[in-house]
């Protein structure tokens, strides 16, 4: 009797909650890339003089958290830099696409065309001392964290001068403050928590951004990392790049709760318009302040969209319509959105933007050509066994498959 009473008593609020939720779904984060606005008169003449931008009210959604300020301070120079970087990332991904289709890049290749605002926005709110770790869709992040186009494309082509000496490929790129490029779905999240623990341990005022996809957010280790991060109040910004499809499965077909920013349960969450580079910057800036103040981790959800397939072997049109992709591409594109704002706010002229486009393009094309001319690594044991250990810390030897394959340093 008692238990039945309990059950009915609990069921009622649940149902009420479900009703409320369906009403709430209508008001959600926008994916409009050009939703911010600024006073044209407030925009200064000088490139370096800061001014304020007002983000759209629909840029954020929060969970157990006060929303970040809807104003963002920036400069003309930074905005132009953001634009240049987003165009460069897109150009590089397009070059990778071309090289893959020419069969020069082999193996895995996951492109982030359409998701550039996340990489660029995050980088613009971090310092070089902060850490970033992400999954296998990592070309843009590698570039933003200091990898050159030449070294990244060289890595994809398997060349000796690639960012991982041609041994990592698309999924495994590393730079200072950038811990990859991880091929195992979700495995980078606990590693990210560890990186944050290092900051806390060393007493640094730095934060770690640990990114994963909407597909990986259902991985058990993600929740294990959440637990330890909250338990120890680690300065980590868990970030779910929600591009709506985990491989070929729509988020609502794979996840019981598609509000990925609420997945932290006991961790405050923030859902961000991931197509608007300014909103991403504002959110991560706020998150960084939150974590470095010792308030513990935060779960962010970047609502974004990828134009291409999951990887190069996925045409990307079997689980979504071409019209959907074209609609996102033509109306919500992060680059086009920022371009529109730059023109609207009188920050640049059409010609200047064209020049930036061309500049980025020639820069990428030149680097790609140089990468293609790079040499392959020699097929020697010395090259095979190097970099297993930090240079200088190698043991006497490393075992091979058979004793005569043993390599002696």
Residues in the site for other proteins, rule: CB under 8 A? 94, 97-98, 100-103, 106-107, 307, 312-313, 315, 317, 322, 325-326, 329-330, 379, 396-397, 404, 408
CB 185, min distance to other proteins, A: 21
The pair of structure tokens assigned to 104 is 């020069």
Closest CA to 239 of 278, 277, 206, 270: 270
Smallest gap from residue 72 Cβ to other proteins (A)? 28
Considering beta carbons, is residue 24 or 355 the nearer one to other proteins? 355
Cβ proximity to other proteins: between 45 and 351 the closer is: 351
Nearest to 236 by CA among 258, 259, 204, 213: 204
| Residue placing its CB nearer to other proteins in the complex, 279 or 335 | 335
Q: Smaller CB distance to other proteins: residue 22 or 318? A: 318
Residue nearer to other proteins on the CB measure, 127 or 317: 317
Q: Which is nearer to other proteins, 49 or 354 (CB)?
A: 354
User: Residue 276 CB, nearest distance to other proteins (Å)?
Assistant: 20
CB of 137 to other proteins, least distance (A): 17
Distance between start and end Cα atoms, the chain? 74
| Rounded Cα gap, residues 316 and 318, in angstroms | 6
Residue 52 or 326: the one with the smaller Cβ distance to other proteins is: 326
Q: Which is nearer to other proteins, 44 or 107 (CB)?
A: 107
**Least distance to other proteins from the beta carbon of 180, Å?**
23
Tell me how far, at minimum, the Cβ of 97 lies from other proteins, in Å.
Answer: 6
Q: Cα 218–222–224 angle (5° rounding)?
A: 125
- In the complex, the smallest distance separating the C-beta of residue 327 from other proteins, rounded to whole angstroms, is 10
Dihedral-angle region of residue 349 (phi above 0 means left; psi in -120 to 50 means alpha; beta otherwise)? beta
Shortest Å distance, C-beta 152 to other proteins: 18
CA–CA separation, 196 vs 201, rounded Å?
Answer: 9
Instruction: Name the residue nearer to other proteins (CB basis): 197 or 407.
Output: 407
Cβ of residue 349: shortest distance to other proteins, in angstroms? Answer: 17
């Amino acid at each position: 009797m008692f238990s039945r009473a309990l059950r009915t008593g609990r069921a009622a609020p649940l149902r009420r909650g479900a009703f409320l939720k369906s009403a709430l779904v209508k008001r959600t984060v926008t994916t409009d890339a050009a939703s911010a606005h600024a006073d044209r008169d407030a925009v200064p003449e000088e490139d370096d003089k800061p001014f304020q931008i007002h983000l759209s009210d629909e840029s954020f959604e929060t969970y157990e958290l006060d929303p970040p300020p809807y104003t963002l301070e920036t400069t003309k120079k930074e905005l132009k830099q953001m634009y240049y970087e987003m165009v460069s990332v897109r150009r590089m991904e397009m070059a990778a696409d071309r090289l893959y289709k020419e069969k020069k890049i082999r193996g895995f290749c996951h492109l982030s065309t359409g998701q550039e605002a996340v990489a660029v926005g995050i980088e613009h709110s971090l310092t070089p001392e902060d850490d970033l770790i992400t999954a296998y869709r990592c070309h843009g992040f590698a570039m933003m964290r200091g990898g050159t186009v030449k070294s990244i494309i060289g890595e994809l082509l398997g060349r000796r001068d690639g960012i991982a000496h041609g041994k990592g490929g698309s999924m495994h790129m590393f730079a200072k403050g950038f811990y990859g490029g991880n091929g195992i779905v979700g495995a980078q999240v606990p590693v990210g928590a560890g990186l944050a623990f290092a900051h806390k341990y060393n007493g640094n005022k730095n934060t770690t951004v640990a990114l994963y996809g909407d597909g990986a957010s259902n991985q058990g280790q993600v929740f294990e990392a959440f637990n330890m991060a909250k338990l120890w109040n680690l300065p980590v910004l868990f970030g779910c790049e929600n591009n709506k499809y985990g491989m070929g499965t729509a988020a609502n077909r794979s996840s019981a709760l598609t509000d990925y920013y609420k997945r932290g349960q006991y961790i405050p969450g923030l859902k961000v318009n991931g197509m608007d580079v300014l909103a991403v910057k504002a959110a991560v800036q706020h998150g960084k302040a939150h974590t470095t103040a010792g308030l513990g981790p935060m779960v962010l959800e970047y609502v974004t969209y990828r134009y291409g397939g999951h990887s190069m072997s996925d045409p990307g049109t079997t689980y979504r319509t071409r019209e959907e992709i074209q609609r996102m591409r033509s109306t919500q594109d992060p680059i086009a959105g920022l371009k529109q704002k730059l023109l609207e706010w009188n920050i640049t002229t059409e010609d200047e933007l064209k020049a930036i486009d061309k500049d980025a393009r020639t820069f990428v094309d030149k680097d790609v050509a140089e990468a293609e001319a790079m040499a392959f690594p020699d097929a020697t044991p010395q090259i095979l066994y190097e970099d297993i250990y930090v240079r200088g810390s190698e043991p006497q030897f490393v075992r091979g498959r058979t004793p005569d394959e043993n390599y002696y340093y």
